[in-house]
Structure formats: structure tokens, C-alpha cells
Amino acid sequence: MKVAVINFSGNVGKTTVARHLLLPRIPGAGLISIESINEGEASAQSLRGRQFGALQEYLQAIDSAVVDVGASNVEELLGLMGRYRGSHEDLDHYIVPTVSALKQQKDTIATLVELSRMGVPAQKIGVVFNMVEDGVKVSDAFNPLLTFLAEQPIAIANTDCRLGSNEVYERLKLAGVDVASLLRDDTDYKALIAKAPDSKDKVALARRLATRRLAMGVAPELDACFSALRLGNPVAPAGSGRLKGLGRD
């Protein structure tokens, strides 16, 4: 299975979704990151036509991959897909993470519209509702996006596919590890803390223990969200699954 994680907007948790939600749950998948070189420099871009051609060739040679598309490369990637006709079919699913901020919801709608215009069917596009605060209903926080999709069913938006705000992801980023590896870690940190020679070592070990506990707490949520995406078992939404009034030739 080959999946792209994509959104015109930044700060929606694409890398979190790619690394912690999708990658550990797609057997044999490797991670392909498409990011700008020297991020922050307006003139620096990593994706060119020949590089996109190489990406297509690579995708033909492998069975599974998660492609994490940085926000600064999304427009160029989609433009190149339009140039290389049919290349969007090389990916089995497009996952679009979003957060509740209105700007990000608008950017998410724009992303879904562009994928639909390109010819990606609704059952291949899934939405992840990310950074949802405890006690908040997805239907309330994401009303603009869900209202749009009710009128234009161009993507699958299962409100069970939600991830809460959790400090574990920042901890993992700083530590350079992922949820899956922490779940496999059976180190007896409490025993090590008791034997540690000084307070600095004790604090470092306690931090690892706390991070593992957070990972264990978030794992069921990740499992539930992945299950709700139903990758490989698409369910067509009501309607045509194409953007109304904007059919393709």
C-alpha cells in the first residue's frame, strides 16, 4: 500500500500522521519525506520534474510506502502530477490531516478540491481530525469542513478518525524515536532510576519512562484512528464522489 500525507496548510501534523499513525501500521512501508532544502529559504525547493519522475519510478518498484509531503512542496507536487498524466494513480490513498483552526480547514478544503479535480476518487481520500481537545466534538470543531463535505462528498471523513492534542509527539520529536519503538521497549526504568548514581541520570531515565507511558496511552487512539480510515477497504460516500460542477475531461 502506498499512501501520501498531504495538505496545502502547514501545522496540521502531517509528519505525526505519517510517522506515528501510518508507517507502523502498513506492513513493509518505508517513509519518503518530500521537504524543502534549507527550509525557510523562499528560493530553496527539493522537488523538480526529474525528481518527481524518479519518485514515480521508485514507487513502481516497491509494494508499500508513506510519502510525507511538506506544505512548501504540495503545490509543486500536484502540478507535476498534472504534467505526468495518471501519476496520481501510483498512490493508493491520500491522507489529509487537519486541525480546527479556520485557516487550516479552508486549506484542507482546497486540498481536497485539488485532489478531486485531478481525478482522485473520494474513496481514496481520507481526512484525519488532528489535535482535537478533550471533550470537544469533531462535529462541532470541524463544522465548516464537514458541512462542505456533506454538500460535496469528495473525501471520506469519518469523525472516529481523530487524534487528540498530546505532548508525547513533541517529546518523540526531541528524542528521535517513535511510538512503535517505545511500545517495544521493556526496559525497567524504575529499577534503573533506583540504581542511578546522580540526580541528572535519574531525571533522564524518568523522562524516558514518562515518554513511554504517554506512548502507551496514545496507542489505542492511534489504532482506532487507523481503523476508522479503512485503508484497503474503502467505503464510497453518498453521491458521485466527484466535485459537483467541476468534472474533468
For residues 109 and 144, what is the distance between their CA atoms, to the nearest angstrom? 9
- Over residues 221-248, mean pLDDT: 69
Full-model pTM? 0.87
pLDDT(231) > 80: yes
Question: Cα 93 vs. chain centroid, distance in angstroms?
Answer: 11
Residue 65 has pLDDT above 60, yes or no: yes
- State pLDDT tens for residues 202-212: 999 999 999 99
Instruction: Give residue 197's pLDDT.
Output: 92
Show me where the domains of the chain are located: 2-229
Between CA 95 and CA 178 the distance in angstroms is: 19
- Sheet of strand 65-69, all strands in order from the earlier edge strand to the far edge: 30-34, 65-69, 2-5, 93-98, 125-132, 162-164
Lowest mean pLDDT, pick from 69-78, 120-129, 151-160, 233-242? 233-242
Cα–Cα dist 6/177, whole Å: 22
pLDDT single digits (tens) 102-133? 999 999 999 999 999 999 999 999 999 999 99
pLDDT at 49: 59
Cα separation, 157 vs 131, whole angstroms: 16
Span 2-229: which CATH code? 3.40.50.300
Amino acid 52: pLDDT: 86
- Pick from 12-16, 39-43, 245-249: least confident: 39-43
User: Do the Cβ atoms of 111 and 69 come closer than 8 Å?
Assistant: no
What is the arithmetic mean of pLDDT over 238-247? 51
Q: How far is CA 109 from CA 96, 125, 144, 159, in A?
A: 10, 12, 9, 16
Alpha-carbon dihedral angle through residues 239, 9, 66, 78, given to the nearest 10 degrees = 70
Distance between start and end Cα atoms, the chain: 28
pLDDT at 39: 41
